[in-house]
Structure 1
Amino acid sequence: MIAPQPNLSLEYVMLSDFPIDPVSGNDAAWLRLDRPTNHMIITAMAITDPLSPSQFRQLIERRFAHLHRFCCRPVVHSGVYLWEQMDDIDISRHIRHECLPPGAGKPELEHFVSSLQSLPLAPDRPLWEFILLEGYEQQSVAIMRVHHCYADGLALISIFAALTDDHQVVSAGGPDADDEAEIGRQSGASGSTRRRTADRVKAGLEAVSHGVERVTHLNFRLSPERYRWLKAETLEGRGLQLLNSAAELARLAALPRDPETVMSQRLGEQKRALWSSRLPLDDFKAVARQFGASVNDVLLSCVAGGLGKYLAEHQSVDEHLELRATVPVNLRPSSQGQQDSTVEKTAAQQPDDEDDLLGNQFGTIFIPLAVGLRNRVERLYKTKHDMRALKGSVQPMLSHIVIGATGLMPTMLQQPLMDAFSNKTSLVLSNVPGSKEQRFIAGSAVNELMFWVPQGGETGLGISLLSYNGFVQIGLLCDPHCVVFPQQLMKHICGELEEYLAA
């Protein structure tokens, strides 16, 4: 047995203990980015009508826990990460049922969600968990926490959506009982169930991906050939990709550090998670129509304006001040042209198909936020111009290559490179359009949806924008040392929309 190194928290194993299934460079990078001040865990939350714990557990077992990737845990051998198949998963260790104090409201729920952000997932089992929380204003709260190495935010939001239905009826046998009976009559019930779940996730990914492209007006989808080239998993292959993109990478590396602000503080281990009230999506659409912009432009301008107001209350802000936001963008190829109509996929092929759906298949772009511009009309048009200028950017592919390459490098080489890129931005910003109609989870209506993305390096602020059922909600995940008054920041961001409407 090899002795563990101090900077690796996951246990070491002998290669002979299980079949070798290496973790890709892009997925391994998120394991190495884990640190007490920033856990690489994606959190999603659904506030629902009262939800039955037994039906919720059945739902997780049937639509999530059997997927191949989530039956594995990452382990490390001589600095190389591998997936270890866990044959007997105790589902009770992955689903918790808890209650808030009597009379709890939003402050108590925010405190509970915030407390989760500093808790790592147990490395002796697959790195995911669900929490069913009772006692929140006669509603239930379903929370999913998954380590970033399993999938990117787009895939996890799609999985979370795959746990829901567009109807309320739940049969006496529990969620999907009738469908499962039909599946059981087909050959290989387990394989059929897994294919059915993968199909749900795949459909959700396509819907969310097209929604993101429609809202942001950015499309970085790759051709199937380009996608296979990008998935090269050897260090040599990554090195060649880096060499071929040296000029573009140099320009990206030459970007200066973001200006120092009151948010540029050393991180602590505690985090604050909060979210806004529901804002009508039609209001954002009305502003967008009025100024000939997109809904995404309006959202980004509101974020920039809110940040500018918050900073101005705590420091001097020049009108030319810009802060960059790291925005993840999807690099998955479109499903069109991917399906082989002449070959029937078998259950034995399904694990690889599931892994292709999951994993970290995204790049990032740096979006400048004009936080110093107080004229909101000018700021909106500048945001629109900056977004259009990014349409032909190579940043997403380059960042994907860099993350994949660093995930295969020794830790002592990886950390400085990742930090060099993280200090070029001041926040992580993710915008995901959800379902236009109300969804149901195990027969209970989903009233609100929210998610929070982790931040790498020394970044202390993450902003999530999510639309669902005709409303938009804004989520903040921040370090209290960087954003001392997060409620104040949230108030300013939401206030920008009101001022656009008043104008």
Structure 2
Amino acid sequence: MVTRIASAAPLLAMPAPAARAARIVGKNVQRAASGMLGLSGERMSKVDTAWLRMDNDHNRMMINGVWTLSPGIRWQALCERVQQRLLQYPRFRQRVVQDAAGATWVDDDRFDIAAHVVREPLPHRKGQSMQQALQQRVGELAMQPLDGRRPLWQIHLVEDFTGDDGEKGSALIVRIHHCIADGIALISVTLSLVDGGSEPPQRHAKAAHAAGSPEEWLADTLIRPFTDMAVKAIDMAGESAAHSLHLLREPEKMLEQGLAGSVEAARMAYQLVSDAAALALMPDDSATRLKGKPGHAKRVAWCPPLPLDEVKAIGKALNCSVNDVLLSCVAGAIGGYLRAQGDDPAGQEIRAMIPVNLRPMEQAWKLGNHFGLVPLVLPIGIENPIERVYEVRQRMNALKGSTQPLLAFAMLSMAGMLVKPAQDALLNLFARKTTAVMTNVPGPRDALTLCGARVTQCMFWVPQSGDIGLGVSILSYGGGVQFGVMTDTTLCPEPQQIIDAFTPEFARLSLLTLMLPWGEE
């Protein structure tokens, strides 16, 4: 009681408007502090907060996906499966409450499955196939924000759908806000949703911190995740790199290990400085019709699957990775599209930001965002497919061992701690120098079934941030690999024209590979 009187005394001396303002500020500070200490729910990580606040009028931060199923499934069966499996992940039962210091995951006490699993009518115009109508609807939904009063996801079910292959069934359109998880984590979610999928591992409750201090919160949500993910990511670049980062984290061990450790640490420090400079000083990419100020409408397109074994065979013959082959075909398709529009892409390049996973796969079920970004410059002006694939290989090799994904992850963490205008200014540095966001995600090797129906095709698109108007997705599934595009209609009204150039580019590369003068070696 004494404390309350003492703390209230200064308010009594204030004029009424000032006292009201002080009470409001006090409540906001208390609300923010209670969120930081985890008293009103689970605090959202700063990286996830950055994605939450990255929405703008021409780019919504949603991962959009499409599944086609044969035979069809019914709404009631899908609702039951979602309740049994998907809702085992707490994030899908929680809404987001924002405050002055960030955001908190809070259980939705009024959760309604019907608001999240939605029957989707799919009317189509005369002369328009259901596949075209589905693509149009995906583009429309990509621009519709999710309801912030509810958990940030929706599944739209088209119960009766016939694709271009004539197979009757159903189609799903999935929308999940990027603050819930990245693409790799959502694959883990997918595998728990299908027939035979396992429920997510039970998460053990964290032991409460003795003092519950803000310093402990900061360490748990920013410092430890970054250093742990950084070490795991650099492990992939070699033991010496990982050892060096460990030394940078623990300088006392550097002194114990003497000169050799210092040399390794210095080498890693040089790598970090060099990569930071490369990110900061990236030159602008070529000014093509695909780069500019986006509008407020999206359109998507995707191609039938290519045989993954054939892609692997070409990669093996050319001593290139599957990624090299596919990215080269993407560059060729974009260059071919520009030529078809009357442009000359000779000598031009565009930069694509490629996500790089920074988490062990066995921890993907924990959701959240744990990835960095690397900028890959695609040689869209090289017409010769063989020359182009070797150029892509050289550029991909130059990125191996780079710490740029870690620096990008750190930048997203820092962005989540800033006010939104400062966050936008920081992240727009990337967007101004980038034409596309490109993802290549390995999906399940075997065909999946959902509620007894076979998943015949699946495709997804990650969001574009800032003023980026082109999203490219590559997904391997069931022995095939698919290529999909999402574009802003102001910059690219017909993404199907880019898609239509992809398969011919692959065929040209395949043919020329067979025509090379192979020797015995």
Structure-2-length-normalised TM-score: 0.75
Higher alpha-carbon Rg: 2
Query: 1:455: which partner in 2?
Result: 464
Distance 2:150 2:245 in 1: 35
The answer to whether the 8 Å contact 2:75/2:159 transfers is: no
Deviations 1:387-439 (A, max 9, x none): 11111111100000001101111122111110011222210111112122111
Match status 1:90 vs 2:138: no
- Structure 1 counterpart of 2:491: 482
Matches within 5 A, 1:339-418: 357-418=366-427
Deviation at 1:47, TM superposition (A): 0.6
| Identity across matched positions, percent | 35
Residue segments in structure 1 that go unaligned for 5+ positions in a row:
3-10, 167-175, 180-192, 199-217, 231-241, 336-352
Match of 2:14 in 1: none
Q: CA deviation at 1:306?
A: 0.9
Q: Distance in 1 between matches of 2:340 and 2:103?
A: 46
Q: How does 1:260-299 map to 2 (within 5 A)?
A: 260-299=287-326
Conserved? CA contact 1:287–1:298, under 8 Å: yes
Match of 1:259 in 2: 286
| Shift in CA distance, 485/101, structure 1 to aligned 2, threshold 3 Å | closer
Residue equivalent to 1:211: none
Report how far residue 98 of structure 1 moved.
2.2
1:301 to 2:331 alignment? no
CA deviation after TM superposition for structure 1 residue 333, in Å: 3.4
Which deviates more, 250-259 or 145-154? 250-259
What is the root-mean-square deviation of aligned Cα atoms in Å? 3.2
4+ long deviations beyond 6 Å: 220-227
Report the counterpart of residue 480 of structure 2 in structure 1.
471
Counterpart of 2:92 in structure 1 is 70
Of the structure 1 ranges 311-320 and 321-330, higher mean CA displacement relative to structure 2 is found in 311-320
- Structure 1, 414-423 or 279-288: larger mean CA deviation: 279-288
Deviation at 1:155, TM superposition (A): 0.8
> Which runs of structure 2 are paired with 1:416-455 in the superposition (5 Å)?
416-455=425-464
- Matched residue SS, 2:282: coil
Q: 1:304 to 1:104 in 2, by over 3 A?
A: closer
Alpha-carbon distance in 1 for matches of 2:189, 2:84: 12
The alignment of Structure 1 onto Structure 2 pairs a total of residues equal to 423
SS of the residue corresponding to residue 446 of structure 2 reads: coil
Partners of 2:432 and 2:190 lie apart in 1 by 31
Match of 2:215 in 1: none
| Counterpart check, 1:141 vs 2:171 | yes
Q: Which residue pairs with 1:160 in the alignment?
A: 190
Q: Structure 1 residues 463, 194: closer, same or farther in 2, change over 3 A?
A: closer
CA distance in 1, matches of 2:335, 2:47: 34
Distance 2:200 2:341 in 1: 52
Q: Which amino acid in structure 1 is aligned with residue 181 of structure 2?
A: A
CA contact (8 A) 1:44 1:157 kept: no
* Counterpart Cα distance in 2 of 1:121 and 1:281: 35
Is contact 1:25–1:404 with CA below 8 Å preserved after alignment?
Answer: yes
Distance between the aligned counterparts of 1:62 and 1:428, measured in 2?
34
Select the structure with the greater relative contact order (CA < 8 A; seq sep ≥ 6).
1
| Matching residue's letter, 2:138 | V
Change (3 A) 1:262 1:285: same
1:30 is matched with: 51
From the superposition, tell whether residues 284 and 144 of structure 1 become closer, same or farther in structure 2 (CA, over 3 Å). Answer: same
> How far, CA to CA, are the matches of 2:326 and 2:172 in structure 1?
27
- Structure 1 counterpart of 2:40: 19
> Do the aligned residues in 2 keep the contact of 1:45 with 1:142 (CA within 8 Å)?
yes
SS where residue 439 of structure 2 aligns? strand
Compare the two structures and name the one with the higher helix fraction. 2
Mark the CA change 1:42 to 1:12 in structure 2 (over 3 Å): closer, same or farther.
farther
Residues 373 and 96 (structure 1), Cα distance of their counterparts in 2 relative to 1, 3 Å cut: same
**Bigger shift: residues 276-285 or 142-151:** 276-285
Runs of 5+ consecutive residues of structure 2 not aligned to the other structure: 1-19, 22-27, 163-167, 205-234, 250-268, 513-521
**Could you tell me which amino acid in structure 2 is paired with residue 308 of structure 1?**
G
Give, in angstroms, the shift of residue 468 of structure 1: 1.1
Secondary structure of residue in 1 paired with 2:120:
strand
